[in-house]
Amino acid sequence: MTVTLLFGKCFIITLILICFIENPLKSACMKSIFKLLLSLFATFIFSYSFAQNFSLGVRGGISIPNLSASGSNENPLNTGYSSRLGPDFGIFGEFKISQVFSIQPMAEYSSQGGKKSGLQAFPTPSAYAAYFQPGPAPAYLYADFKSEAKLNYLMIPVLAKFGWNLKPKSPVRIYVDAGPFVGFLLSAKQVTSGSSNVYGDAGGQNQLTQSAQSFDATQNIKSQLNKTNFGVEGNVGISYGTGKSNIFIEGGFNYGFLNIQKGTANGKNNTGAGTVSLGYAYQLGTAAKRK
């Protein structure tokens, strides 16, 4: 009963947080999240029947993501991003194999993306073709505005975790973990704001408009991006344990190996983020003795 109630609370809180941050999500997306978390819940409960050292926990903090591009994938649209801030939180189970090693699967809501500010490129609208006749219009025009790519994923990492007590029987423990993840795109928006004259060159010398144009817009770009990603995640942290309770603080990273765009018109980018989190875990199985 204790196991079910504790995990049930974590399960409900996670759903509420996802709905609050990305409301309203499409019903199909919500159904997928619900099924995934329900499956995770059932797996944890089933596994607990066989595990003597199983902990259940929650963690939450901030994500500091950015978008990267390299080599032939670089163009004026997909370069020049800096980091944005967003939430990162999840629920996890930890299966302790030994005093040093454990396996930690997790369901994690991860903010990804990046932002730009200042003179930057945008695809040349057809309305601007007349400015360049009789020659062809360039692929990009430039303006001074703000742009932010807000991407949010549900990530399922499985981490190999190694931890050591600072000294025998110490309640303080340091640890590192790392492992692969599969990510599912929940939402993707390109948010632009500001007003500016439009220029025909990256240096802002060839002014095309006589007055500032508004760039206030929010565009849903989910259909332009791949629905799944695959990558690696890792963390370094310190924890304090008392009885069956454990609190911790950790810093980490994640990086997606796959390009997020379906096509090549806007270049290719990879996601990645630094994270800082606080968390709490509770020992559900037989508490392991500290050496």
Please give the pLDDT value at position 231: 97
User: Alpha-carbon distance 63 to 277, whole Å?
Assistant: 9
Which residues face 65 on adjacent strands?
273
Please give the pLDDT value at position 195: 97
Spans in the chain with pLDDT lower than 70: 1-52, 71, 285-291
Please give the pLDDT value at position 160: 97
Three-class SS of 51-103: CCCEEEEEEEEEEEEEEECCHHHCCCCCCCCECCCEEEEEEEEEEECCCCEEE
Asked if omega into 24 is within 30° of 0 (cis), the reply is yes
Please give the pLDDT value at position 240: 97
Please give the pLDDT value at position 286: 62
pTM for this structure?
0.81
Q: Where are the domains of the chain?
A: 54-283
Q: Is 263 helix (H, G, I), strand (E, B) or coil?
A: coil
Q: Which amino acid is at 168?
A: P
Domain 54-283 -> CATH class:
mainly beta
Residue 16's H or E segment, with its range, is helix 2-21
